Structures are given as structure tokens and as C-alpha cells.
A = this chain, B = another copy of it.
Amino acid sequence: MASAFIPGQRFDLGLTVLSEEDIISFAKAFDPLDFHTDKGAAEKSFFKGLVASGPHIFTLVHRTQWIPLFGKTVLAGLGVDKWRFFLPVYPGKKILSAVTVQNVKANPEKKHAAVTWFYEFKNEEGALVQSLEMTVLHKID
């Protein structure tokens, strides 16, 4: 797996559910807007209820799912593009995550490749909640 990244390869990153406590705790640390940290205020907000901070689901899935699979081959992060917050993530709702190898620029002499990964997060109804492109420099054999 470390040595070959093939465009189109898709990896299921499983199902994630954020609790109210998860949402409030992450947001207090990193994104303390009242619709992420205060249920009462959130009910009067644009979202009509508590919602996760935008980066929360990616941050968690990347940490718990992607890094165990691919972390050992990472040389450096290069960029993030087209991160879109299409739909809010409410507490207790199932989010299905997947990542696909979108593009690979290999440099066999230097034994590395710039890999663009396309992350997708969908809700139980199959609607796209978020997506993003992440480009990482990986070691290759």
C-alpha cells in the first residue's frame, strides 16, 4: 500500500457519529461560535440546532482513519483545496466517510509522489455533507 497510489483507488473510512458533548468540546477548543457550543443559542441560529464546527468531522476522521492507513508514508502536507461545507453535521447523525486517490504526480528518482486525495462525507440519506481535496507528499518505493 505504501509503494503504489493509483488514481481511482477508494478507501471506506467508516461511520462516525458526533455527540453533543463531542461537538461542544471540539468547538470550545477551536471554533467557539454559539451555534457550536450553546444548544439554546443554536436553536435560534441559522441551523435551528447545535451543529459541529466545520473542520470537526474531517479532523476526526483524518486522525482516526486516514493516518493509521497512510501516515507512515507521509513526507509533508502540501495543500487543501475546495473544502466545501454543504450541509451541517448535527449530533447523533451518522456520517459515512471515504477517500479516493484523485491524482498522483510521482517522482521515482526522488522516491516520492504528490498525491491528491478526495475526501467525501455523506449523511445517511446519501447527501454530500462535505468534501475536500488534500494534497500530500508521500514516500514511494
Residues of A with Cβ closer than 8 Å to B? 29-33, 45-47, 54-55, 59, 62-63, 67, 71, 74-85, 88, 132, 137
Q: Is the CB of B30 within 8 A of A74?
A: no
Q: Is the CB of A30 within 8 A of B80?
A: no
User: Which residues on the B side are within 8 Å of A67 (C-beta)?
Assistant: 31-33
**Which of B71, B81, B83, B85 interacts with A76 by CB under 8 Å?**
B85
Q: Is the CB of A63 within 8 A of B33?
A: no
Complex CA gap A83/B88 in Å reads 22
Complex CA gap A132/B132 in Å reads 14
Q: Is the CB of A81 within 8 A of B82?
A: yes
Q: Is the CB of A83 within 8 A of B85?
A: no
The 12 listed contacts between A and B (C-beta, < 8 Å) are A31-B63, A31-B67, A32-B71, A33-B67, A46-B76, A76-B85, A77-B85, A78-B84, A80-B83, A80-B132, A81-B83, A83-B83
